[in-house]
Amino acid sequence: MKKNIKKIVLGSLLSLSLCLGGFSAYAETKEEYLDSFLDSVYSIMLNREADEEGKSYWSGKILSGDIGILDFLNQILSQEEFASLSISSEDFITKNYNLLINREPDEDGFNYWMSKLGENSTKEQQLNLINQMAHSEEFIGKINEMGIVFKIYEEEKPVVVPEQLSDIDIFIRDAYEHILGRQYDQEGFNYWKGQLTSQDKGAIDLINQFISLDEFKARNLTDQQFIGVMYEVLFNRTADQDGLNYWNSIYQKDKSSNRMANIVLNIADNTEFLSRIKNMNVIFKKVDLNLFYSELLTTKNNIRSITSNQLSEIKMGMTFFDIIVKLGRTKNVSSVNGVNIAKYTVDGSKEMYFIFSDPSSTYKFDPMEVLKAQK
């Protein structure tokens, strides 16, 4: 009986040892990890088996430290073979997850990267994305654990803005990267910086111009992705989940043809963004005088607007202390020969709104006299 028990125990331990042996006693070497990774690059990204000659070449370059693993990805995915493949944005993001961190994408991560890439991405945009995703803690942690060099070569890019970016520079850069899905061009950057600093155009004018372009429309972003893009541009940060859900619910209720411009105005009508453009000395939005001199944004005080003739009459010498830049929230507005709106407080409580055309000029008048003249 004891012999039988001993056999059972030994047999069980042997079975357990065999089952766990590969897990507990075996550590993957750097060479083995790299061999498996190279196979995955060929199969996942190029849709074919690796040829031994090519794999041996790249393995030797990486193991010798001549290039890093990200340098390898940039070089092999810059070749014509990858450029000739038709890979959708969704598939490319999934491929990156499978390749870099050996798992399927989670929903939040997938939506985030889709907002970066857009629906119809170019190979240049895809290559840029894999460079961003490769900097994840999961992938870099594994590479460091294996003792493999991550990156050696720095890509040479033309410098088109100062190294110390101003907030206007960042705003324009983010608009190009997040709305159009590409880096800015020098001519376009200079144009918009001139328009914003001169206040010939406002921040919302830039966004409206970008979202009207075929280049943006071709990205075919989902509603939620578009809201995420607006957070990046307006606030220079990723959308929090509560904010994303809230604005998406508002967006779904708007069935008008101007729903995209409307949601931009609603999200931007926020202390965080208004403080940002105030610090940039950038106006919110240029407004057409012809659309506004017949009525004011508010009617609760029965204040009518200032006509163009009255505007000329009162242009004498008083500086407005509180420029209202939150325009267009309740009215669709075009941006032609723009003016600004100013708020004047009477008796410390009554707020009156006036239109004036030149933000650099000063105006002197008695608000009550203006109202009497209009009655």
Separation CA 268–CA 285 (nearest Å): 11
Separation CA 306–CA 293 (nearest Å): 6
Of the candidates 219, 245, 280, which is a domain's last residue?
Answer: 280
DSSP notation for 293-354 = TTS-S--TT-PPPPPHHHHHHH-SS---S-EE---SSSS----SSEEEEEEEEETTTEEEEE
Instruction: Check: pTM over 0.75? Answer yes or no.
Output: no
Closest CA to 327 of 374, 255, 277: 277
CA 307 to chain centre: 41
Same domain, 276 and 296: no
Closest CA to 161 of 147, 151, 172, 150: 172
Tens-place pLDDT, residues 324-358: 333 322 222 222 233 444 545 544 554 455 554 44
Q: Is residue 14 part of a domain?
A: no
Separation CA 5–CA 285 (nearest Å): 86
CA-atom Rg of the chain in angstroms: 30
Same domain, 129 and 57: yes
Same domain, 197 and 138: no
Q: Please, are residues 292 and 339 in contact by the beta-carbon 8 Å criterion?
A: yes
- Give the pLDDT of residue 164: 64
Q: Is residue 159 part of a domain?
A: no
Provide the 8-state DSSP code for 179.
I
Q: Is residue 214 part of a domain?
A: yes
Q: Is residue 222 part of a domain?
A: yes
Q: Which domain holds residue 207?
A: 167-280
- Give the pLDDT of residue 352: 52
Of the candidates 280, 315, 344, which is a domain's last residue?
Answer: 280
Tokens 């945009």 belong to 125
Contacts for 6 with CB less than 8 Å, ≥ 6 apart: none
Same domain, 254 and 298: no
Same domain, 72 and 94: yes
Separation CA 325–CA 336 (nearest Å): 16
Domain with residue 224: its CATH number is: 1.10.3130.20
Q: List Cα–Cα distances, 173 to 167, 179, 193, 242, 303, in angstroms.
A: 10, 10, 10, 26, 41
Same domain, 138 and 172: no
Q: Is residue 1 part of a domain?
A: no
Same domain, 41 and 134: yes
Separation CA 339–CA 327 (nearest Å): 11
- Give the pLDDT of residue 29: 86
Separation CA 270–CA 351 (nearest Å): 20
Contacts for 316 with CB less than 8 Å, ≥ 6 apart: 362, 363, 364, 365
Same domain, 309 and 352: yes
Query: Per the structure block, which two tokens stand in for 89?
Result: 């944005």
Same domain, 255 and 210: yes
Q: Is residue 365 part of a domain?
A: yes
- Give the pLDDT of residue 28: 77
Same domain, 269 and 310: no
What phi-psi label fits residue 31: left (phi over 0), alpha (psi between -120 and 50 degrees) or beta?
alpha
How many structural domains does the chain have?
3
Of the candidates 250, 280, 310, which is a domain's last residue?
Answer: 280
Per-residue pLDDT tens, the chain, 375 aa: give them: 444 444 433 343 333 333 434 333 456 788 888 888 989 888 888 888 888 888 888 888 888 888 888 888 888 888 888 888 888 888 888 988 888 888 898 888 888 888 877 777 787 888 888 888 888 778 888 888 888 888 775 544 443 434 567 889 999 999 999 998 888 888 889 899 998 988 888 898 899 999 998 888 888 888 999 999 999 999 999 988 888 999 999 999 988 888 898 899 889 878 888 889 888 888 877 654 333 333 333 333 333 344 444 444 333 322 232 233 333 222 222 222 334 445 455 445 544 555 544 444 444 445 555 445 444
Q: Is residue 5 part of a domain?
A: no
Same domain, 274 and 303: no
Same domain, 91 and 114: yes
E strand residue ranges, the chain:
287-288, 323-324, 338-346, 350-356
Q: Is residue 25 part of a domain?
A: no
Q: Please, are residues 179 and 209 in contact by the beta-carbon 8 Å criterion?
A: no
